[in-house]
Chain A
Amino acid sequence: MTAGLEIIAFAICAFIAITGALGMTTTMSMFRSGIFLMASFVGVAGLFILLAADLIGVLQIMMYIGGMLVMILFMVLVMHDPGGAMMAGMDMSFVERWFSKGLVPREPAQSGHAKHMHGDHQRGYNDHHHGNAVQPDEPNDRKAAAMRSGHGAHPMEHTDDDEQEGQVMHHSGDKHDDMDMGGMDMSMDTPVRPIAVWLAAAVSVVLVSMLLLRPAWRIIDAAPDPDSARSIGHLLMEKYMVAFEGAGFLILIGIFGAVLLARPSTHPDDPSRSAKVAIDERPEPIADDGLTPLAGARGSTEHHMHRHHRPEEHGA
């Protein structure tokens, strides 16, 4: 590899990595954040390949790009404003403005108009997102929230099919404040953002100055084996066997934990349970779980109490 080519490749990869990370954290759109993070990963993978660690570079692309696609899907599923349309009109710093270029601000009245033109399911989805615009750091009074939750769910236009969905919306609207375009704090950043900026700048300055004032590391000018993947495989299977097995076990436990966490709860006190009951006319029976039933849902209480008390005695 000629010297000029290496410098140019390093410059391009470092630029992609740093710009991608910066764009990830400053853009207003969640979707763009995911795309920028992918670009950052690709840049870091290019740096890996430039450092003759080709196996790690390929692994980086394969694992992180796959993971990032799933993450973007989750974001579009979960966020109340994944496209950043609400935040595009807000005042931003110049970096944020540059990385959020081209986002179209959405007018609140216009979105309400578009809501009526869509089908029932689409409207319910929009209402759901409408109700999700929460201000977590502003504990407003529940009265205003209850008054406005009726407005958010459009109860006058509900057909019979919409009724059950509306109960779910009302449920979520009771707990949280409805959207209020007036004093809404919709920014993606916490109030500690100036502190975070200074802290990140301090970390960067300290690390870079430590690098520049470092004692010289002894640099060994030996080219690594071009067939490095074979050596890594041998190391994984011989010297680092326990670490390899431990990583595999960690992945197994992680999958179990993720499945266990993501399973819908069968406890009658759980909000997801009530949402399920509100939607499903014949919900799954909960008689055979190990939890204590509520006062309203009395089944075979003695059996449950027996099963509930046994581990306590065992633990004591």
Chain B
Amino acid sequence: MIVPLTAYLVVGAILFAIGVYTVIAQRAAVMILMGIEVLLNAIGLNIIAFWRFTAPTDYSAQIFAILVITIGAVEMAIGLALVMLLYRQRQTVEVDAYAELKR
């Protein structure tokens, strides 16, 4: 525990900022999904860092991290299915073309 808690949290904060930037600035839907994955990673890193430094004998935080990873996997599956469906409809994956979803 030489490396302080703040260092891990700073890494998590930077990852979160990069994820926010990716979700807002990217044009392709797949890239937005990747940005969401980075966001979930930052959340998991924060959870595990707090577990290690403030409650290392209670493993509930790791259960929480497992749930976050599960939700990330399900989100990726549903998101890719949606992207494939929208690609079949619009012949593009760029989210600007999805401005009106019903036509």
Contacts and interface: CB of A to CB of B under 8 A. Distances in A.
Nearest to A18: B14
Contacts of A180: none
A49 to B, nearest CB: 10
Contacts of B84: 74, 78, 261-262
Contacts of A40: 15, 38, 41
A67 B88 CA distance: 22
Chain B interface, DSSP helix/strand/loop, else mixed: helix
A63 B99 CA distance: 32
B89 A223 contact: no
The size class of the interface chain B forms with chain A is 35 or more
A3 B91 contact: no
B25 A190 contact: yes
Contacts of A228: 59, 62
Interface residues of A, number: 96
A196 B48 contact: no
Contact of B56 (A67, A176, A197, A220): A220
B84 to A, nearest CB: 6
Contacts of B70: 247, 250-251
A53 B28 contact: no
A104 interface: no
B53 A243 contact: no
A56 interface: yes
A55 B62 contact: yes
B2 to A, nearest CB: 4
Interface in B1-53: 1-3, 5-11, 13-22, 24-28, 30-31, 33-35, 37-38, 41, 44-45, 48-53
A172 B18 contact: no
A200 interface: yes
A143 interface: no
B18 to A, nearest CB: 4
A245 to B, nearest CB: 12
Given A189-B27, A222-B56, A258-B80, A271 B88 contact: yes
B26 A136 contact: no
A70 B20 CA distance: 23
Interface in B46-103: 48-57, 59-60, 62-63, 65-67, 69-74, 76-78, 80-85, 87-94, 96-97, 99
Interface in A201-216: 201, 203-204, 207-208, 211-212, 214
Contacts of B22: 21, 24-25
Given A71-B80, A79-B28, A258-B81, 7 more contacts: A63-B69, A196-B25, A207-B13, A219-B1, A222-B56, A254-B77, A259-B81
12 contacts: A3-B2, A33-B31, A52-B52, A56-B44, A79-B28, A79-B93, A134-B97, A192-B24, A195-B24, A201-B17, A258-B78, A261-B84
Interface of A: 3, 6-7, 10, 14, 17-18, 21-22, 24-25, 30, 33-34, 37, 40-41, 44, 47-48, 50-53, 55-56, 59-60, 63-64, 67, 70-71, 74-75, 78-80, 131-132, 134, 136-137, 172, 175-176, 187-190, 192-193, 195-197, 199-201, 203-204, 207-208, 211-212, 214, 217-225, 228, 231-232, 235-236, 239-240, 243-244, 247, 250-251, 254-255, 257-259, 261-262, 270-272
The 10 closest A-B pairs by CB, nearest first: A200-B21, A204-B17, A207-B13, A254-B74, A196-B25, A196-B24, A136-B97, A136-B96, A261-B81, A258-B81
